[in-house]
Copies of this chain bind each other. A is one copy, B any other.
Amino acid sequence: MSEPHTHPAPAHGSAAQGSAAAHRGAAATTGAPTERPSAPRTARERARAELTEEIVGTARRHLDVDGAAGLSLRAVARDLGMVSSAIYRYFPSRDDLLTRLIIDAYNALGEAAEEAEAEQRRTDLRGRWLAIAHAAREWALANPQQWSLIYGSPVPGYVAPQDTIGPASRTTALLVGILADLHARGDVEQRSVPRSVRAALAPVRSAIPPDVPDDLLVRGLMAWTELIGTISLEINGQFHNVIADMPEYYDHVMDRTAHVLELG
């Protein structure tokens, strides 16, 4: 028997299905209305949408506990009272489920950063940067496995599809906004950048306001790297026996980074 965890009682597939359906229905009443552009019309389509969300939710719960490598379709199916092969009706493969989780993680981080940044005065560039930095670290500490999913070593054998690049750039777009405002303010000291480096920046150039100077762009990339690196090293435990009070250290580092960016 390949599914040893299903009902030992005879001929109760329908009963198990019933209880699973009931649970599904209960979750549906509390579930948020899905903001799909076209609302599902038939009951079948509604059930499908709900079950899909439930699979994702259960998978995310497993991810948070066991990490990406420990995410098991069978375990998710077991939690939902169904059989592993049924999951494949909703996600063609484990990787597709993972893709969905990655997109959700990017969006959750992006949303947290956006909300924190929106609370700052537009003219307070330093405040906006520190708000993003704070929000990122707090989200990462609250969801370390999801952080590792998007900024940690990639899952072996998994290749990120194009769908992820949109949500992925949501957070960095905030930083680009700060850089643009900073440049618009006009009082930024500029160092020249070698032509070879300028050429190396060509891809990112095409994605940001063209008047942001090279030197500022490099400093922004370095600041972003420092942010990602500090959070990742903390989450990976590399600061054990190095830094006692990470919040203090992180605040200080991000403050210095703001200074390097000449955010005031």
Contact = CB atoms under 8 A, between A and B. Distances in A.
A164 B108 CA distance: 35
Residue from A235, A241, A257 with most neighbouring chain B CB atoms (10 Å): A241
A153 interface: yes
B238 A151 contact: yes
Residue from A153, A154, A193 with most neighbouring chain B CB atoms (10 Å): A153
B248 A199 contact: yes
Interface stretch (A31-39, A50-58, A83-91, A226-234): A226-234
A66 interface: yes
A152 B156 CA distance: 12
Interface SS majority for chain A: helix
Contacts of A197: 248-249, 252
What is the oligomeric copy number?
2
Contact of A196 (B196, B203, B248): B248
A244 B69 contact: no
Contact of A225 (B204, B229, B252): B229
A241 to B, nearest CB: 5
Given A222-B256, A225-B226, A244 B152 contact: no
Contacts of A193: 252
A190 to B, nearest CB: 13
Contact of A201 (B66, B226, B243): B243
Interface in A132-173: 148, 151-157, 160, 165
A1 interface: no
Given A193-B252, A197-B249, A199-B248, 19 more contacts: A66-B156, A67-B156, A70-B157, A153-B153, A154-B236, A160-B237, A197-B248, A200-B244, A200-B245, A200-B246, A200-B248, A200-B249, A200-B252, A201-B243, A218-B252, A221-B253, A228-B233, A229-B230, A229-B232
Interface of A: 66-70, 148, 151-157, 160, 165, 193-194, 196-197, 199-204, 207, 218, 221-222, 225-226, 228-230, 232-233, 235-238, 241-246, 248-249, 252-253, 256-257, 260
